[in-house]
Amino acid sequence: MDIPDLKRFLAETFPAADAFGFAIAALDEDHLVLSLPTQAKHLRPGGTVSGPTMMTLADTAAYLIILSHIGPVGLAVTTNLNIHFVSKPEPGELRATARLLKLGKRIAVVEVRLHGPGAGGLYAHATVTYSIPPGSAAPQPG
């Protein structure tokens, strides 16, 4: 699935995720970048981006890069998410860069780095595991 496919699938299947406010900024064989212009609802007092906002963005970026490889599988579900928060995120644009660590027939593991715009510092690092339902197409990447 390419960027327009992913957007259409998400809008139809997960309207709440779609309303969250992010955009798919880049997609190639190995990476997917989600961009979120943070709004008031994404912030904690003091202006820092909230933990749940970052966890939601990491989970969504992981889901989308898996779909980009296996197609529109609504029933793929998160089985584990592990996130380290390593620096205080600034308000403004939040970016999540997802990369597949494993794409098997039954499990996919994705690494997600959350950072600011440009070459700024790392805000958080997540690994996200999805369970892929039997029968879905899931070619192992080279």
Of residues 80, 130, 81, 127, the one with CA closest to residue 105: 130
Pick the binder of a second copy from 23, 30, 47, 52 (CB under 8 A): 52
Residue with tokens 């499990």: 107
Q: How far is the CB of 135 from a second copy (least distance, A)?
A: 12
Q: Does residue 45 belong to the site contacting a second copy (CB under 8 A)?
A: yes
- State the Cα torsion 46-51-55-57 to the nearest 10°: 0
Q: Does residue 78 belong to the site contacting a second copy (CB under 8 A)?
A: yes
Of residues 57, 109, 114, the one with CA closest to residue 85: 114
List residues near a second copy by CB under 8 A.
Answer: 13-16, 41, 44-45, 50-52, 55-56, 59, 77-87, 101-102, 106-107, 109, 111, 122, 125, 127, 129, 131
